[in-house]
């Protein structure tokens, strides 16, 4: 053996595993399988330290593979909708372009080409970290068969009355040009003001004076004696001179501001709900480009929110309507991608009725059909599911599968179209006004987006020959909204294992054998985004949960306890660390001593300390081989019996020294505790115990004692060393496999070629 371990050989070791087919399980219906679906990383982005926590899954996978279970770890890549389009738009900006310079087909193809150049990047990176994924079963979220399944699910949901269109208030980013779910909005504390505005006999307090132009009521709490006599009357809206009612609603806080608030249903989620209850009008004052529209007085048209705010406040002050202004701190929703403030806005969107999907998923958790670890996340899951709202599955972006619905322009002449003409000019207008100026082919080829009124008729099955079944017209356009990425990835266990939505009995052999999968390991921050939705889709389509246990792993943070992100500049690149210290050192640092589902700090010092442990294993193994060579020189007749997975107890119990018995007893205990800890998902405890056993019990105590003994010590040394390598293999696979291969060359081992072939069983003596 070389004097020190070199991680430069890791690529060669990984190649050995791949060529052997060790990662590709064989279906054996006489055995119970173990399977994990990899949480699909963004196919376009390099891995970050959060992805390095896939190590937890690799530990489980290698452990079960060594137990002899047919073990599948299925990899994949995510097209990642808005995230990928956002990254590509940054590239366009560098070139002096924007998404508005291209029709949607051209832009889609450009993003496709961009992703294809980078899509194998994280596959390479996962191999660098030793992840034993079955690459022969790799899937990408935009594969034709997966898209067919997703569209079939949409059609089934629609046929079951669970899909509908409605104009509701959504979280809209006017920069990214799309709606987001509540889960995707980042709430940031902002230092702002509270403006007190006189509405006749009332003074309202508001953090958004600009939206008053769209007010349709003033609300007070009916229990507030100050205003009870005004409920049912009207007041004049300042600057607009429109009469609006005073309503009583129990949701109004008596302590906030004056106890009277303005109601702007088209630009506030709370006001939206209030307006539905009290049947108020909806007046949207901002368009999707973020500018104020024709629903406000002409003086105020064409402004962005901040510009409009300044103008409105100045005019309120001049006209004597502004009573006072106070400093005020409150939370404001921001786009999680571009960081700009979200504009709550009413817009026609596609929705999934969630109640009928949620109830079976709630019951499955309560009955233990799907378990949660740590257990506290079961309560969080149930709390969210029992208060869940219908899911907006629309996204107004190009990158992703379009919703499979078609509009006949002849049946719906009021559909608004945005398209590029032959001179690349952006044309906007309703079809009724455009059809005589532009051909349908020109509109279709240059189409960027369409906006269908909420009462527009649509088709979910494109008819043969693309002829409208109602008017027999040929002017059909597909909905330009794409699916929320989570709608597609929510079906990931089904899609990747070959479930057939149209004909379930014709699903693949993989699906029938490996579904439901064994464990879904991910971080708690996407418990609702993804895990809950997979459970709902799994039960809806198959009547079975997609996985039996949800394991929520820990989160990597910086020294200040902040989540790592590129924007904060606190990222540690896992590939840089693995190049510097070896993948094994990085892997061990991510699990060593970590409490389940906790925040933990990963630092270069910790990775360096685990590199020292890797070197300790190498040096201990080198010593054992040197000792064997030494005894062979002095006693050429020394025979080394074949090694079995139960050890090499060549002597009878009475022939063991106290030192031998002590280390073998410790080995027996560590085998038992490792099995127990891995079975309970206590990876931190298992790794810490193995570290202490190998470094202290074996190296510091037993090997030191062995230096003063004769050849009778060799069988016990080998027993402990080879069993230790197997115990450590799921955690640090490269160094353990490297040493194992060297041992195979020097010692006759009655075992398979790879260390992954078996798991050490407890050793019994006497």
pLDDT at 642: 42
| pLDDT, tens only, 469-516 | 999 999 999 999 999 999 999 999 999 999 999 999 999 999 999 999
Contact 390, 73 (CB under 8 A): no
- The model carries a pTM of 0.92
Domain with CATH 1.10.730.10 in the chain: 601-757
| 646-669 mean pLDDT | 74
Contact 258, 196 (CB under 8 A): yes
Query: Which of 333, 337, 384, 331 has its CA nearest to residue 361?
Result: 384
pLDDT band at 25 (very low <50, low <70, confident <90, very high): very high
Is the preceding omega at residue 516 within 30 degrees of 0, hence cis?
Answer: yes
Could you give phi then psi for residue 274, rounded to 5 degrees? -65, -40
| pLDDT, tens only, 88-99 | 999 999 999 999
Contact 62, 134 (CB under 8 A): no
CA distance 409 to 416: 10
CATH of domain 601-757: 1.10.730.10
Contact 477, 447 (CB under 8 A): yes
pLDDT band at 47 (very low <50, low <70, confident <90, very high): confident
Domain with CATH 3.90.740.10 in the chain: 178-340
Contact 703, 623 (CB under 8 A): yes
CA distance 143 to 137: 13
Mean predicted lDDT score pLDDT of the chain: 92
| 708-726 mean pLDDT | 90
User: Thinking of the domain 178-340, which architecture would CATH place it in?
Assistant: Alpha-Beta Complex (3.90)
Is the preceding omega at residue 122 within 30 degrees of 0, hence cis?
Answer: no
């Amino acid at each position: 053996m070389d004097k020190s371990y070199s991680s430069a050989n890791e690529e060669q070791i990984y190649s050995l595993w791949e060529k052997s087919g060790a990662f590709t399980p064989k279906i054996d219906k006489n055995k119970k399988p173990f399977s994990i679906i990899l949480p699909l990383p963004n196919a376009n982005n390099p891995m970050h330290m959060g992805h390095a926590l896939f190590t937890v899954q690799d530990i489980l996978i290698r452990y079960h593979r060594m137990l002899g279970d047919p073990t599948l770890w299925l990899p994949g890549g995510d097209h990642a909708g808005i995230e990928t389009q956002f990254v590509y738009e940054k590239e366009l900006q560098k070139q002096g372009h924007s998404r508005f310079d291209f029709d949607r087909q051209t832009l889609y193809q450009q993003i496709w080409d961009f992703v294809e150049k980078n899509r194998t990047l994280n596959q390479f990176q996962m191999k660098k970290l030793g992840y034993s994924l079955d690459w022969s079963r790799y899937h990408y979220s935009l594969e034709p068969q997966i898209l067919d399944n997703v569209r079939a699910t949409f059609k089934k949901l629609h046929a079951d009355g669970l899909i509908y269109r409605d104009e509701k208030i959504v979280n809209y980013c006017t920069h990214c040009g799309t709606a987001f779910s509540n889960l995707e909005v980042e709430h940031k504390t902002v230092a702002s003001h509270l403006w007190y505005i006189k509405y006749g006999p009332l003074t309202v307090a508001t953090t958004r004076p600009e939206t008053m132009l769209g007010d349709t009521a003033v609300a007070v709490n009916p229990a507030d004696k100050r205003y009870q006599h005004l409920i049912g009357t009207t007041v004049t809206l300042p600057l607009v001179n429109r009469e609006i009612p005073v309503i009583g609603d129990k949701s109004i806080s008596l302590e906030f501001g004056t106890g009277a608030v303005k109601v702007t249903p088209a630009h506030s989620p709370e006001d939206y709900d209030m307006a539905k209850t009290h049947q108020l009008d909806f007046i949207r004052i901002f368009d999707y480009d973020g500018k104020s529209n024709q629903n406000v007085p002409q003086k105020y048209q064409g402004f962005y929110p901040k510009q409009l705010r300044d103008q409105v406040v100045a005019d309120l002050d001049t006209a004597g309507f502004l009573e006072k202004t106070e400093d005020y701190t409150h939370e404001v929703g921001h786009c999680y991608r571009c960081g700009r403030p979200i504009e709550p806005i009413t817009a026609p969107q596609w929705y999934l009725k969630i109640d009928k999907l949620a109830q079976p998923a709630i019951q499955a958790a309560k009955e233990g059909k799907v378990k949660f670890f740590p257990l506290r996340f079961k309560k969080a899951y149930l709390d969210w599911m029992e208060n869940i709202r219908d899911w907006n599955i629309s996204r107004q972006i190009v990158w992703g599968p379009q919703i499979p619905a078609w509009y006949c322009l002849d049946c719906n002449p009021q559909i608004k179209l945005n398209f590029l003409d032959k001179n690349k000019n952006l044309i906007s207008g309703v079809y009724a006004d455009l059809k005589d100026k532009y051909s349908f082919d020109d509109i279709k080829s240059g189409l960027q987006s369409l906006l269908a009124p909420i009462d527009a008729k649509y088709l979910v099955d494109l008819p043969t020959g693309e002829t409208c079944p109602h008017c027999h017209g040929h002017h059909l356009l597909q909905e330009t909204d794409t699916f929320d990425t989570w709608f597609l990835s929510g079906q990931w266990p089904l899609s990747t294992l070959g479930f057939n939505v149209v004909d379930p009995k014709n699903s693949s052999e993989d699906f029938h054998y490996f579904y439901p999968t064994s464990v879904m390991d991910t971080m708690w921050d996407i418990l609702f985004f993804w895990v809950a939705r997979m459970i709902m889709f799994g039960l809806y389509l198959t009547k079975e949960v997609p996985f039996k246990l949800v394991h929520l792993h820990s989160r990597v943070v910086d020294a200040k306890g902040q989540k790592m992100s590129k924007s904060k500049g606190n990222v540690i690149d896992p590939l840089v660390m693995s190049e510097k210290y070896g993948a094994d050192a990085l892997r061990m640092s991510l699990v060593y001593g970590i409490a389940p589902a906790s925040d933990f700090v990963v630092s270069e010092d910790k990775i360096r300390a685990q590199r020292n442990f890797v070197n300790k294993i190498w040096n201990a193994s080198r010593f054992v081989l040197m000792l064997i060579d030494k005894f062979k020189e002095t006693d050429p007749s020394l025979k080394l019996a074949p090694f079995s997975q139960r050890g090499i107890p060549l002597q009878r119990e009475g022939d063991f020294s106290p030192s031998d018995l002590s280390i073998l007893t410790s080995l027996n205990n560590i085998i038992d505790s490792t099995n127990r800890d891995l079975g309970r998902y206590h990876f931190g405890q298992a790794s810490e115990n193995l570290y202490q056993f190998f470094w202290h019990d074996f190296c510091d105590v037993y090997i030191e004692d062995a230096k003063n003994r004769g050849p009778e010590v060799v069988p016990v040394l080998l027993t402990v060393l080879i069993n230790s390598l197997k115990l450590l293999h799921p955690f640090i696979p490269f160094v353990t496999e490297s040493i194992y291969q060297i041992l195979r060359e020097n010692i006759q081992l009655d075992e398979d070629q790879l260390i992954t072939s078996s798991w050490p069983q407890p050793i019994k003596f006497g």
